[in-house]
Amino acid sequence: MAELETRYVFVTGGVASSLGKGVIAASLAKLLQSRGYSVTIQKLDPYLNIDPGTLNPYEHGECYVTDDGAETDLDLGHYERFLNVPTSQDNNVTTGRIYRNVITKERKGEYLGKTVQIIPHITDEIKRNIMLMGTRHKFDVVVTEIGGTVGDIESLPFIEAVRQLKWELGYRAMFIHLTLVPYLNASHELKTKPTQHSVKALLENGIQPDVLVLRSEHELSDDLRKKVARFCNVEADAVVQSIDVKTIYEVPIKMHEQHLDEIAMRKLQLPAKHDADMSDWIKFLEKRSKATETITVGLVGKYVELPDAYKSIIEALNHASTYNDRKLDLRLIHSEVVNADNAAEKLAGLDGIIVAPGFGQRGTEGKIEAVKYARENDIPFLGICLGMQMAVVEFARNVLGMEKANSSEMDHTTPYPVIDLMESQKNITNMGGTMRLGGYECKLKKGTHAYEAYGKEFVRERHRHRYEYNSKYLSDYEKAGMVASGVNPETGLVEIVEIPSLKWFVACQFHPEYSSTVLKPHALFMAFVKAVIASKN
């Protein structure tokens, strides 16, 4: 069979930000995938950072890490959780990266003396990055989400680039525009004017949307849809509503009910393969809604005001709870307020405790107290990255009697740097993209909780950290009851520690949350939730 020529779907947003473009993009991609196509999703971010790796989580939420070591936007997490297919460096492109590439080429003289300009040089570089998903990665369908809101100065080059691509690709490209239909309480009315204006703004940029997805808090009438269709040159059935649902995982089903996948296939002239098969997905949703018993899990971190900072952890816990037929009562606990005097009160009633990743000193003493509380009260515990490092520090201070033990990130004069910088990290001055990033192998020790969770000896997990377990102290730890249950087979670096005498106390240097998906919950989260249930009973 001849290879399918790649189709491109561009998703733009209007009226307001945070309407959920990523979820709409992921939902359409999921539906097309369930019809037998290979699909990927790409995010274009209009900011000047090369990648979000150096951004404070307060700015953009969690930084999501791909297996090939790219630090990316948290929307890529949704893409992987929906599609169950790994993303890569090429799935997230920022304005900063586009400009860097163009300027690097200019310095090399590759533009042969031409004046380098936004059009065509920046737009060509954007187009090249979009097309890579087809040419390099050979996907049947590429859904490209354009960050920002139409009308923003920053996203103009992206909009211009996709306008040109549509012209070049013809039926192989289409546009979906997501807007907001606000409800006015005073007049009990849904208002379509902002949508009309937003489509006008797109038209001014030469883009005619093929599909409109209207976010709304209320059901949209047929008349309203027809009105929007008429004003915006869109077919009536191509005006789709997206109203609030209990979980974002219901959105693909809602989109399917309104035939979004069929409409896209028609516009893109995609040959039909088979009907959408969403049976496993629907099973997950049914399990989720049927669960009656609850588990209460505390997530201790310093970004609790902004749950997006822990997006993947929260989702991974949701997946594992659902597959264990439990409702999740998640308590976000601010690590800065936990101390030795109030730990029992702040952590009361928790069936399980997770200590979160993070950078810098703030809130780490509270994390150490939370670890101590979990260890002394034998509450199932999962430490992730900095959470693992703090578990190692806690054990040093309170079990091994190493007073003032710490990670050298928090205290570079500590007498016991049980977490320390690797030689290879010591001379690094650039902050961006220089941590231990992406997938690494880990060898598990038989007979440990980690081995039991995964059920195999070799696993691959994603990392994002600079500091490491200091193996100099390993034998002290093992003698006192905290063992290394997972190590990197090449470097010997300790990747997982656990306390075998406790019910379930496991901490990992990597981020298991990045690879938990709706159809494939992560082994460690599954084991953690199982331990929580067992300990509760």
Residue 261 vs 394, nearer CB to ligand GLN: 394
Catalytic position from the list 385, 409, 442, 463:
385
Strand partners, 438: 463
Q: Which residues have CB under 8 Å from 466's CB, separation 6+?
A: 409, 421, 425, 428, 434, 435, 436
Query: Which of the stretches 188-196, 205-213, 381-389, 447-455 binds ligand GLN when contact is defined by CB under 6 A?
Result: 381-389
Task: State the number of binding residues for ligand GLN (CB under 6 A).
Answer: 11
Determine, following the binding rule CB under 6 A, whether residue 381 of this chain makes contact with ligand GLN.
no
Residue 214 vs 494, nearer CB to ligand GLN: 494
Determine, following the binding rule CB under 6 A, whether residue 62 of this chain makes contact with ligand GLN.
no
Determine, following the binding rule CB under 6 A, whether residue 54 of this chain makes contact with ligand GLN.
no
Strand partners, 8: 142, 173
Q: How near is the Cβ of 51 to ligand GLN at its closest, in Å?
A: 15
- In our burial notation (b when 16+ CB lie closer than 10 A, e otherwise), range 311-343 reads bbbbbbbbbbbbbbebbbebebbebeebeeeeb
232 has catalytic annotation: no
Residue 225 vs 465, nearer CB to ligand GLN: 465
- Binding track, positions 328-367, relative to ligand GLN; x by CB under 6 A: -----------------------------xxx--------
Determine, following the binding rule CB under 6 A, whether residue 172 of this chain makes contact with ligand GLN.
no
DSSP E strands in 52-118: the ranges are 64-65, 71-72, 92-94
Determine, following the binding rule CB under 6 A, whether residue 385 of this chain makes contact with ligand GLN.
yes
- Binding track, positions 459-498, relative to ligand GLN; x by CB under 6 A: -----xxxx-------------------------------
403 has catalytic annotation: no
CA atoms within 13 A on the CB side of 59: 10
Residue 177 vs 464, nearer CB to ligand GLN: 464
Determine, following the binding rule CB under 6 A, whether residue 411 of this chain makes contact with ligand GLN.
no
Determine, following the binding rule CB under 6 A, whether residue 174 of this chain makes contact with ligand GLN.
no
How far, in Å, CA of 347 to CA of 354, rounded? 11
Interaction residues for ligand GLN, span 425-464 (CB under 6 A): 464
385 has catalytic annotation: yes
Q: H helices of 399-466, where?
A: 449-454
Catalytic position from the list 177, 319, 511, 522:
511
How far, in Å, CA of 397 to CA of 361, rounded? 17
Q: How near is the Cβ of 409 to ligand GLN at its closest, in Å?
A: 5
Rg (CA), the chain: 25
How far, in Å, CA of 156 to CA of 205, rounded? 8
Q: How many CB atoms lie within 10 A of CB 307?
A: 16
Q: How near is the Cβ of 363 to ligand GLN at its closest, in Å?
A: 12
Q: How near is the Cβ of 468 to ligand GLN at its closest, in Å?
A: 7
Residue 334 phi/psi, 5-degree rounding, is -70, 120
How far is CA 136 from each of CA 91, 139, 270, 361, rounded to the nearest angstrom?
12, 9, 20, 42
Three-state secondary structure call for residue 526: helix
Binding region for ligand GLN (CB under 6 A): 357-359, 385-386, 389, 409, 464-467
Catalytic site residues?
385, 511, 513
